[in-house]
Amino acid sequence: TAGITQAPTSQILAAGRSMTLRCTQDMRHNAMYWYRQDLGLGLRLIHYSNTAGTTGKGEVPDGYSVSRANTDDFPLTLASAVPSQTSVYFCASSDRPNTEAFFGQGTRLTVV
Amino acid sequence: RKEVEQDPGPFNVPEGATVAFNCTYSNSASQSFFWYRQDCRKEPKLLMSVYSSGNEDGRFTAQLNRASQYISLLIRDSKLSDSATYLCVVNMFGNYGQNFVFGPGTRLSVLP
């Protein structure tokens, strides 16, 4: 079982450019999440989606947008990247409320 | 005050030692609790869920005290392979809907 897959695994991006981080899950989970992880700050929620067709803002949503056109895919877009968006990005999904989250392998993004 | 707090460590212990990690959370309406393990530059992976009655999985024991809003993880007979960062995770309905809130993690190094 593939589980949850992110692409790319790493990327160097020029400031001002746009980029979409892809996330796909094959577990038919309702909820999906995007986190960023920075040294000393832990994982912080960027955006979430409780079910296909709905999205919500997390703790650090500025500069990011998401869509949830179907159950499987939850792409994260940076419209105009800035160096402070250099981070490791994790996509996650969960089946029902109160059940565990499963994570993708992460995307390491460097904005220069 | 952060929603989920942990001692960041590092904890440096010899092989065979017993080590305990603590975690506190601020939202009394939190509904489910987990310990995740994260290896360097990898995604977090579920170690165990935490139940009010306490639960054990081999060398690992987790406890939850809802009255004190406190979660613990005990690792007995530490192995070199236990070296990792341990994340305390709380699932709650808060400012960002129903989602997972992560502690900053406690780093464990098991030494030969």
Residues above pLDDT 70, as percent of chain A: 99
- The tokens describing B71, both together, are 């979660």
- Here the tokens at position A66 are 């998401």
Query: How many whole angstroms separate alpha carbon A104 and alpha carbon A6?
Result: 6
Q: Rounded CA gap, B70 and B103, in Å?
A: 12
Averaged pLDDT for residues A20-47: 94
SS3 B82: helix
Give me the DSSP letters along B54-76: -EEETTEEEEEETTTTEEEEEE-
- The verdict on B58 touching A (C-beta cutoff 8 Å) is no
- The pLDDT tens digits of the residues spanning B62-112 come to 999 999 999 999 999 999 999 999 999 999 887 777 789 999 999 999 999
| pLDDT at residue B50 tops 90 | yes
Q: Give yes or no for A110 touching B (CB within 8 A).
A: no
Partnered with residue B89 across adjacent β-strands are B34, B102
Range from A25-29, A47-51, B7-11, B67-71 carrying the lowest mean pLDDT: B7-11
**Phi-psi bin for B31: left (phi > 0), alpha (psi -120 to 50), beta?**
alpha
Interface test with B, best of A38, A45, A46, A108 (most B CBs within 10 A): A45
How far apart are alpha carbons B63 and B66 in whole angstroms? Answer: 10
Put simply, whether A103 touches B (Cβ < 8 Å) is yes
For the segment A48-64, the average pLDDT, to the nearest whole number, is: 95
DSSP per-residue codes, A23-90: EEESS--SEEEEEEEETTTEEEEEEEESSTT--EE-SS-TTEEE--SSSSB--EEESS--GGG-EEEE
With CB atoms and an 8 Å threshold, state whether A42 touches B32. Answer: no
What pLDDT does A90 receive?
98
| A5 Cα to chain B: minimum distance (Å) | 11
Task: Find tokens 């080590």 and name the residue.
Answer: B19
